[in-house]
Structure 1
Amino acid sequence: MSEDNEHDVALTGGPGSGKGTLVEHLRRSLGFHTRPEAGPAIIRDWVASSGRALPWVVPGLFAERT
């Protein structure tokens, strides 16, 4: 992609809605530059530490952390 055509795009949606799958497709198949999603890393950390900042436990706390 040339610099003239570069744009920042944000994908939003709930957990499991396909954002990560779409981003991975854009990166692998079409060569887009992407950034990792914050939500899955936060979920992994809180699950590992038995924390409560999970979207299905305390959605507001999860939203605050992300």
Structure 2
Amino acid sequence: MRGDGLAQSYGLVCGHAARLGEKARGELRAAGETSDLRVPPTAELLTSQELHIVRLAAGGLSNREIAQ
């Protein structure tokens, strides 16, 4: 289903973005710079209900199963 793939893609993108941010902060530190900007982990940006739904989707449930 389209929604299942979308949820998985969203999770992958968020994971890659977090790793890229950490890498960039590491590069800044190595160059003697600092980074004040802290991007919160995706889980901190979601409501408890959204996080619950994402976890169900990550567990392999379809949109129909999650809706029930």
TM-score, structure 2 length as denominator?
0.38
Answer 1 or 2: which has greater helix percent. 2
Structure scoring higher RCO (CA < 8 A, sep ≥ 6) equals 2
TM-score, structure 1 length as denominator?
0.39
